[in-house]
Amino acid sequence: MNYPVASAEQIAFFREHGYLVVEEAIPKAELDMLEGFCDRILEEKERLAKDWAWDAKESLDDRSFRIVQSSPSFVWKDIREQPYRKWLVAFGSALLGKDLAFWYDQFLGKPPGKSVPTDWHQDEAYWGRNLDEKGVTGWIPLQDVDAENGCMHFIDRGHRLGVLPHTQVEGVQSDLIHCEVDVKDMVVCPIKRGDVTFHHSKTPHMTTANNKPRWRKAVTNHMQAIGAGGEGDHYPWKLTVHQGFDKLRPAKPV
Ligand SMILES: O=C(O)CCC(=O)C(=O)O
């Protein structure tokens, strides 16, 4: 299977709507390998992961990991060479119309039964003004996803709203932040394993909690325009929370 090349229609759709679903993008063998590394993280999550929705009532040792947040790059030495990574950069660059560099990835695992939504947010709200119009994210679920187990939801044309005010999510002590959106413009994106969603760094998006009996696993891949220089010039709501280790976000593109 060859990786798809962005068509003129896909590029126009992304620029108009701020997101795009690409069907049957990543071959099964690559997804299986990626999932295998994510499973290793799950086995050792106390050492290798943060809880992105760390309950304010829980101690560090008692985190319930309602959203496991880590990175397959921590455990997969050759991840940079993988075809899917190169494809994400090429496809994302075509969508944004800027040459991108891979920046960092995150494994985001939602356990069955006790997870929470990843509330509405814009990636630029985390990254700061350095990334103004300079970021794209490619989100890879490792199983079929729908609104029952944490698929992506986007605000249609939300990349044109500027950066919205964000606040810390109530009841959590991680760096999770959220914003208010007009849900009349919400688009729900149920997709299959192998499909990928892309979104602009200003597009408000969220994923629902996992209410199915198996883990919801996803790898999100953040890319930035070459020369953007990494996150910086932060907004006032930016939080930094340490959870034993803090290597999740390289300052420079890798
Ligand atoms: O997978 C999730 O729960 C959220 C992912 C996300 O917010 C992102 O990829 O930017």
Please tell me the distance from the alpha carbon of residue 226 to that of residue 90, in angstroms, as a whole number.
13
Give the ranges where 116-213 is alpha helix by DSSP (H).
123-127
- Going across the sheet that includes 152-155, the strands are 118-121, 205-207, 152-155, 186-189
Closest residue by Cα to atom 8, ligand 1, is 220
Looking from the CA of residue 139, the nearest atom of ligand 1 is 9
Statement: residue 250 has pLDDT above 90: no
pLDDT at position 87: 98
Average pLDDT of the segment spanning 227-231? 94
Residue with tokens 């698929």: 151
Looking from the CA of residue 110, the nearest atom of ligand 1 is 3
Strand partners, 243: 245
Report the separation in Å between the CA atom of 147 and the middle of ligand 1, taken as the mean of its atom positions: 14
223 lines ligand 1 (CB under 6 A): no
Residue whose CB lies within 8 A of the most ligand 1 atoms, among 220, 221, 231, for a mutation test: 220
Statement: residue 251 has pLDDT above 70: no
Alpha carbon of 144 to those of 85, 95, 155, 169, 214: distances in Å?
20, 24, 21, 27, 11
pLDDT at position 44: 93
Statement: residue 227 has pLDDT above 90: yes
54 and 63 Cβ atoms separated by less than 8 Å: yes
Per residue in 131-155, pLDDT (tens digit) is: 999 999 999 999 999 999 999 999 9
Please tell me the distance from the alpha carbon of residue 34 to that of residue 15, in angstroms, as a whole number.
29
Per residue in 64-104, pLDDT (tens digit) is: 999 999 999 999 999 999 999 999 999 999 999 999 999 99
CA 47 to the chain's CA centroid: 21
The confidence band for 1, taking pLDDT boundaries of 50, 70 and 90, is: low
Which domains are seen in the chain, by residue range?
9-225 (2.60.120.620)
Selection from 1, 13, 21, 10 nearest residue 192 by Cα: 21
